[in-house]
Amino acid sequence: MSQTQIGIADMQCWVFRKAQKKWNLSPAECTAVFQKYDLLGFISECYDLLHVSSYQCALDEIEEILHSKGVAV
């Protein structure tokens, strides 16, 4: 596994956990949201831009994506 792949996986895990806590969802519920909207894919695709800021900023971006799709979390 390359350093970039490790960084992506790390960010995906941390953002998932932050979302779960902030949205007060169980792991299964949070997983369903992340899968339905391919949020792990978003983190992977945009990692080069996301990793230069905080995990909170990445979560803010995800919340904007969900909001634009009419999803309230």
**Band (73; pLDDT cuts 50, 70, 90):** confident
Dist CA 38 CA 32 (whole Å): 10
pTM confidence score:
0.92
Length of the chain, in residues:
73
The string of pLDDT tens digits covering residues 30-70 is: 999 999 999 999 999 999 999 999 999 999 999 999 999 99
Asked whether the CA dihedral 25, 47, 52, 65 is positive or negative, the reply is negative
The string of pLDDT tens digits covering residues 11-22 is: 999 999 999 999
Q: Which amino acid does the sequence have at 48?
A: D
